Amino acid sequence: MAQLALLDPDEPGPVTLDNEAGSSVFFLTCDHAGRAFPRRLGRLGLPESETLRHIAWDIGIAAVGRRLSRLLDAAVILQTYSRLVIDCNRDPNVLSSIPEISETTEIPGNRGLGEDARAARVEAIFRPYHNAIAAALDRRAAEARESALVALHSFTPVFKGVSRPWQVAVLFNRDRRLAHSLAELLRAEGELFVGENEPYAVSDLTDYTVPVHGEQRGLPHVEIEIRQDLIADSAGQEEWAERLARLLPTAYAQLLGQ
Ligand SMILES: [Zn+2]
C-alpha cells in the first residue's frame, strides 16, 4: 500500500536554499532553523509553550544564518520543521532522531512509533533536506567552486538545571583545523569564553551534517554553536553575524596557509 505523505501540498517544504549563487566559499547550514509541525502530527501532543523552547528548535539561529549569508554573500540552507518531528542532524537509524523524550519533556506523539511512521518523517523532511545540501554541494563542485561547510546551531544556556558558561563553541570530529582557527580568533576578541568540543562534540552517532557533507566530501568544515540568550533578539543576531562574517574568512585563510 502506498504510504500516506506526511506533508500536504499546501504546507511549507522542509528546505529553504537562499543565495545559492553567492560568491563566498562558505556554505551555511541551519539544521534546526524552524519549529513548524506537519498538520497531520498536530504538535505531537505538546502544549504550545514547549514548542517555543530550545527542545523544539535552535532559537535565533535562522536569523543569524540569513544575516551571515548576506554579509558573506554565502549560500544558506535552512530546515523548516521542528527537530522534535525529526532531528535533521542525526542519522535516522539512531533511535533518538525522533526523540520520545527531549531534555526532561516527554513527546507523546513520538511514543512507540512504527516503522512506517518513522519512514514517513524521513522521506518528507530529513531526506529532501539532505538531498538538497548534497545537490547544492555537487553543483558547486561541478562548477569547480570551492566549498567550506559551516553548520550553524544554538544551544540552551541551562540544560537539565546546569548552567553553561560558554558564549560560543566550535565543534569538530576528525578534522579540527577550521574549528580550531576560528576558536583562536574568537578568543582573541578578548571577551568570550569559547568552547572547543564543549558542551558537546561532533560524532557519527550524534551528528549528521558535518560527518556526511563535510568529512565524507573532504571539505573544510566547522560546527558553530552560539548560546541562545545571546541571539534571542535582532541586536544580538546582528552582532554575531557580523562577528562571524569578520572571523570566518580569516580562519579559512589560515587553513589554506597551513
Ligand atoms: Zn542545533
Q: What is the 3-state secondary structure (H, E, C) of 53-71?
A: CCCCCCCCHHHHHHHHHHH
Only one residue has cell 502544549, namely 47
First to last CA, the chain: 56
Q: Flag whether the pTM goes above 0.75.
A: yes
Q: What is the pLDDT of residue 88?
A: 98
Which residues are close to ligand 1, an ion, with C-beta < 5 A? 32, 58, 153
Say which range, 24-33, 62-71, 131-140, 201-210, has the weakest mean pLDDT: 201-210
Q: What is the pLDDT of residue 5?
A: 87
Q: What are phi and psi for residue 224, nearest 5 degrees? A: -115, 130
Measured in Å, residue 58 CA sits from the centre of ligand 1 at 5
Provide mean pLDDT across the span 222-251. Answer: 98
CA of 223 to the centre of ligand 1 (A): 10
pLDDT at 206: 86
Per-residue pLDDT band at 1 (split at 50, 70, 90) = very low
What number is the average pLDDT over the span 137-165? 95
Cα 167 to middle of ligand 1, angstroms: 15
Average pLDDT score over residue span 71-98: 97
pLDDT at 252: 98
- In angstroms, rounded to a whole number, what is the distance separating the alpha carbons of residues 133 and 28? 10
The Å distance, Cα 237 to ligand 1 centre, comes to 16
Cα 232 from chain centre: 16
Residue 109 has a pLDDT of 97
Ligand 1 centroid–CA 190 distance in Å is: 26
> pLDDT over 70 for what percent of the chain?
98
Ligand 1 centroid to residue 124 C-alpha, Å: 19
> How many angstroms does the Cα of residue 258 sit away from the middle of ligand 1?
30
Q: Which helix (H) or strand (E) holds 31?
A: none
Rounded to whole angstroms, the Cα distance separating 167 from 186 reads 10
* Vertex 90: Cα angle to 167 and 31 (nearest 5): 55
Residue 2 pLDDT: 46
Separation of 257 CA from ligand 1 center, angstroms?
Answer: 30
- The Å distance, Cα 253 to ligand 1 centre, comes to 26
pLDDT at 3: 58
The CA-CA-CA angle for residues 159, 163, 165, to 5°, reads 125
Rounded to whole angstroms, the Cα distance separating 191 from 113 reads 46
**Cα(64) to centroid(ligand 1), Å:** 13
User: Chain-wide mean pLDDT for the chain?
Assistant: 95
153 CA → ligand 1 middle, Å: 4
How far does the centroid of ligand 1 lie from the alpha carbon of residue 1, in Å? Answer: 35
pLDDT, residue 119, reads: 96
Confidence (pLDDT) at 201: 85
